Amino acid sequence: MVRHVIIWTMKDEYSEEEKQAIRAGVKEGLEGLQGKIPGMVSIRVLTEGLQSSNGDLMLDSVFEDEEALKAYSVNPSHQAVANGKVRPYMKIRSCFDFVETTVQPR
């Protein structure tokens, strides 16, 4: 399994009310892709971080393999959400992709 994690920081120009609406739109749009993207195992958007967070929202998604992640990135349904509900509102995008492994406790 491949985990795809993104943390976004929104542009400064939005009020807190606008940011709440943007967060809700991103969550609805991206989580709405569940079951529509081949090879996607799970997807969730976290919108309520602790005050110690320095990002505004986080995507946590899992794919069957790296090829499924690559296909997701260019999938038209994903692109529509990314271009309509995410990219216009963000100033910073940080991404960390990795192969999910099971670690045995010592």
Q: In this predicted structure, what is the pLDDT of residue 106?
A: 62
First-last CA distance in the chain:
23
CATH code at position 58: 3.30.70.100
Number of domain units in the chain? 1
Residue 45 is assigned to a structural domain of this protein: yes
3-state secondary structure at position 78: helix
Question: Is there a domain that residue 104 lies in?
Answer: no
How open is the CA angle 75-30-94, to the nearest 5 degrees? 85
In a domain, residue 41? The reply is yes
106 domain residue, yes or no: no
Neighbours of 22 (CB within 10 A): 22
| Per-residue model confidence as pLDDT tens for the chain (106 residues) | 999 999 999 999 999 999 999 999 999 999 999 999 999 999 999 999 999 999 999 999 999 999 999 999 999 999 999 999 999 999 999 999 999 887 556 6
Closest by CA position to 6, among listed 103, 87, 71? 87
Segment holding 95, helix H or strand E: strand 90-99
User: The pTM is what?
Assistant: 0.91
pLDDT at 96: 97
Q: What is the residue range of 57's domain? A: 2-99
Asked if residue 33 belongs to a domain, the reply is yes
Is the residue at 19 inside a domain? yes
Is the residue at 105 inside a domain?
no
Residue 100 pLDDT: 87
- pLDDT attached to residue 101: 83
Q: Per the domain annotation, does 43 fall within a domain?
A: yes
